Amino acid sequence: MEEVFTGSFTQQPPIPDEAVEAAVAVMRSGRLHRYNLVPGEAGEVALLEAEFAALTGARHALAVASGGYALAAALRALDVQPGEPVLSNAFTLAPVPGAIASVGARPVFVEVTEALTIDLDDLAAKLGQARVLLLSHMRGHVCDMDRLMALCDAAGVTVVEDCAHTMGASWRGVPSGRHGAIGCYSTQTYKHVNSGEGGLIVTDDADLAARLILGSGSYMHYGLHGTAPPAEAFEAARWSVPNVSGRMDNVRAAILRPQLRGLDAARAAWLRRYRTIEDGLRGVPGLTLIERQEAEAFVGSSLQFLLLDWSDAAVARVVERCAARGVSLKWFGAPEPQGFTATYRHWRFASSEPMPRTDRILRAILDMRLPLTFSLDDCMLIARIIAQEVGRACNRKDAAQ
């Protein structure tokens, strides 16, 4: 009898009791809007911003409605114009080029490496085409940030970091989101802290912080932001920055604050699950693991591996057979988008020249969530199932050659 996994790849842990109680207290107050405060009250959103700024070491933090809103807000704060080219990874999720398109700008995609990070050689060749790089740390894979920043600084290119998958991660001890001018994070259910939807933005630049706060819909309430820059930073911008309302509310902030305090423990728990599955897959013929760099402290909330140069039919067979045994793998090589697995070839709002080197890697990527509801025994079972099905498909592939 073949082993079957019966757990859920989408079931997240319950919201902590402390967070539930804090959210209920906000609801009982009736004052859910972030600026609906009594005199002397900071409010849950402002407290969350102060705590997140302290966690990341940033001067300014802003809580917003979603991670996608955060990305577009960052581009607006940088005054990205309609038709302007913006560099970004070819391996990312649709909200990243979507944020570029939402301000009327034009994505210029950069190749991806087998480490699933942006190809820095291709980036170097394309830096002259744009003044902004929207860098996606896709699926938690962090590139050599020292080299990337050296390249971008030398070319005068401003970096916005999409940290939807790297809250709690770092490169050589520097938190993800703190290398570029602006860092953007998501608090959507499948991210590292869960408020259903939500986002956070950090920056050290006072002028950018003022533009971000005004753009989020502060009206003239920017003085209620605990990590806001001085009032003079708002003087010129408050007349010209459009209000594109995307504020976070006090309920979501109340839910998030206790989770932030547990982020280090969650990262350690994810890493145990990640390493357990990685160990179970190491040495499987035909399967390439993504070797993480020593300088990268990552959050293993998902795991990817490659079936390089396999036929589409063989990869599809692995996905189908694993699914039949309860293991949900997402494939970025399918001809049509499935769930979140669209690629640059599918985004008709963001046309691109073909990139055969990147296509080879995208066709090989299999992706799997690792919710903290999995036990280590679950992870060992999942690894056994994948190893068996990849082994079977690899044998069939060899026999067909």
**Both tokens assigned to 64:** 């917003």
Give the CA distances from residue 190 to residues 67, 140, 153, 164, 296, in Å, rounded to whole numbers and listed in that order.
Answer: 12, 13, 33, 10, 21
> What's the pLDDT at 398?
56
> Does residue 180 have a pLDDT over 80?
yes
Q: Which domain range does residue 170 map to?
A: 17-261
CATH (domain of 310): 3.90.1150.10
Residue 249 lies in a domain: yes
Residue 12 lies in a domain: no
Residue 8 lies in a domain: no
pLDDT category, 399, cuts 50, 70, 90? Answer: very low
> What's the pLDDT at 401?
44
* End-of-domain residue from the set 205, 231, 261: 261
- Percentage of the chain lying above the pLDDT 90 cut: 89
Q: Tell me phi and psi for residue 169, to 5 degrees.
A: -90, 170
Question: What is the pTM (predicted TM-score) of this model?
Answer: 0.96
Strand 302-306: give its sheet, edge to edge. Answer: 288-289, 302-306, 365-369, 330-331
The count of structural domains within the chain is: 2
DSSP secondary structure string, 310-330? --HHHHHHHHHHHHHTT---E
How far apart are the C-alpha atoms of 118 and 138, rounded to whole Å?
9
Q: Which residues of 166-178 are buried (b: 16+ CB within 10 A; e: fewer)?
A: bbbbbbeebbbbb
Of 307, 261, 309, 311, the C-alpha closest to 288 is: 307
**Both tokens assigned to 170:** 């770092």
> Residues 337, 371: one domain?
yes
> Residues 92, 236: one domain?
yes
Beta bridge mates, 75: none
Q: What is the mean pLDDT of residues 91-118?
A: 96
Angle value at C-alpha 387, between 90 and 294, nearest 5 degrees:
55
Q: What is the mean pLDDT of residues 175-200?
A: 98
Residue 307 lies in a domain: yes
Of 20, 19, 44, 18, the C-alpha closest to 31 is: 44
Dump pLDDT digits (tens) for 7-29.
Answer: 999 999 999 999 999 999 999 99
> Residues 324, 227: one domain?
no
Least confidently predicted of 22-36, 195-209, 268-282, 347-361: 347-361
> What's the pLDDT at 340?
82
Of all helices (H) and strands (E), which one includes residue 75? helix 67-77
Residue type, 177: G
How far apart are the C-alpha atoms of 18 and 22, rounded to whole Å?
6
DSSP tally for the chain: helices H, then strands E? 13, 14
DSSP secondary structure string, 87-146? EEESSS-THHHHHHHHTT-EEEEE-B-TTSSB-HHHHHHHGGG-SEEEEE-GGG----HH
How far apart are the C-alpha atoms of 65 and 336, rounded to whole Å?
29
